[in-house]
């Protein structure tokens, strides 16, 4: 698998409830909107990038990537799996990589390492795992590389009421990829759920 075989989708379609209802992807990280920062970090890793957003579509479109709202089949703001479905519906490459907009320090080699694991294990999904603040390494299911033909499976899962990423992926073969090797950034998967956490992350980088 090569980078050109992968299309990435940036998940920016949430309500931003823990940020007071603001559009999370448009909040600045070191002076750059989070979604644009993510786009710039992702683009060298993959063949193309889309953005999943449900408001401020024109602003997101100004970043230079196609913008797609959630599929109407799941209703408004149906969570990350709605973004997964949107990506699979519009993906024109064999593989789709999902990345949230609120984790600006994700690895520069994210796509390559997930791709290597998916190939090596002949898996349907490759999911990042990373150490958290308590020292435990846990799956980060929104950082997920999948084969595009998984769309039918996701449609069946959501039609049955399923909404949890790991409950869906567990129905298939999953390669878990640890990002806890020497040289890996311990903050790489720190996600900013609140404006305070976003400012905290900025201060750590200053």
Instruction: Decide: 174 and 126 in contact? Cβ < 8 Å.
Output: yes
Chain-centroid distance of CA 194 in Å reads 18
Q: What φ, ψ does residue 33 adopt, rounded to 5°?
A: -55, 140
> What is this structure's pTM?
0.93
Residue position matching structure tokens 């992807």: 25
> What Cα–Cα distance (Å) separates residue 55 from each residue in 78, 93, 102, 124?
14, 26, 16, 31
Q: What is the pLDDT, as a whole number, of residue 105?
A: 93
**Which DSSP string corresponds to 95-129?**
EEEEEETT-TT--TTHHHHHHHHHHHTT-SEEEEE
- Pair type for strands 48-53 and 137-147: unpaired
Assigned CATH for 3-205: 3.90.550.10
The torsion angle over the Cα atoms of residues 173, 165, 118 and 145, rounded to 10 degrees, is 150
Chain-centroid distance of CA 181 in Å reads 21
Q: What is the pLDDT along the chain (206 residues), one digit of tens a residue?
A: 889 999 999 999 876 656 667 889 999 999 999 999 999 999 999 999 999 999 999 999 999 999 999 976 666 556 789 999 999 999 999 999 999 999 999 999 999 999 999 999 999 999 999 988 777 889 999 999 999 999 999 999 998 988 899 999 999 999 999 999 999 988 899 888 888 888 888 876 64
Q: What is the pLDDT, as a whole number, of residue 154?
A: 94
User: What H or E segment, with its residue span, contains residue 151?
Assistant: helix 151-159
3-state secondary structure of 198: helix
Give the helix, strand, coil percentages of the chain, each rounded to 5: 40, 25, 40
Q: Where exactly are the structural domains of the chain? A: 3-205
Distance CA(78)–CA(65), nearest Å, equals 22
Residues 6+ apart with CB under 8 A from 110: 45, 97, 99, 128, 143
Q: What is the pLDDT, as a whole number, of residue 133?
A: 75
Q: What is the pLDDT, as a whole number, of residue 78?
A: 61
Q: What is the pLDDT, as a whole number, of residue 206?
A: 46
Q: How far apart are the first and last CA of the chain?
A: 36
Instruction: Decide: 36 and 126 in contact? Cβ < 8 Å.
Output: no
Q: What is the pLDDT, as a whole number, of residue 127?
A: 98
């Amino acid at each position: 698998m090569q980078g050109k075989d992968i299309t990435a989708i940036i998940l920016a379609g949430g309500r931003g409830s823990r940020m007071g209802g603001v559009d999370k992807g448009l909040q600045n990280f070191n002076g750059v909107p989070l979604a644009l920062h993510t786009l710039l970090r992702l683009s060298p890793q993959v063949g193309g990038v889309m953005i999943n957003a449900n408001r401020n579509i024109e602003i997101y479109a100004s970043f230079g990537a196609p913008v797609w709202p959630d599929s109407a089949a799941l209703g408004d703001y149906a969570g990350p799996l709605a973004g997964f479905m949107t990506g699979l519906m519009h993906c024109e490459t064999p593989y789709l990589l999902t990345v949230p907009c609120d984790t600006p320090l994700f690895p520069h080699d994210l796509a390559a390492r997930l791709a290597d694991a998916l190939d090596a294990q002949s898996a349907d999904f490759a999911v990042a795992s990373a150490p958290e603040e308590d020292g435990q390494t846990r799956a980060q299911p929104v950082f997920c590389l999948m084969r595009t033909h998984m769309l039918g499976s996701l449609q069946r899962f959501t039609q049955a009421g399923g909404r949890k990423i790991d409950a869906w992926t567990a129905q298939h073969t999953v390669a878990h990829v640890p990002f806890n090797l020497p040289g890996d950034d311990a903050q790489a998967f720190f996600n900013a759920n609140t404006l305070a956490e976003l400012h905290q992350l900025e201060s750590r980088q200053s």
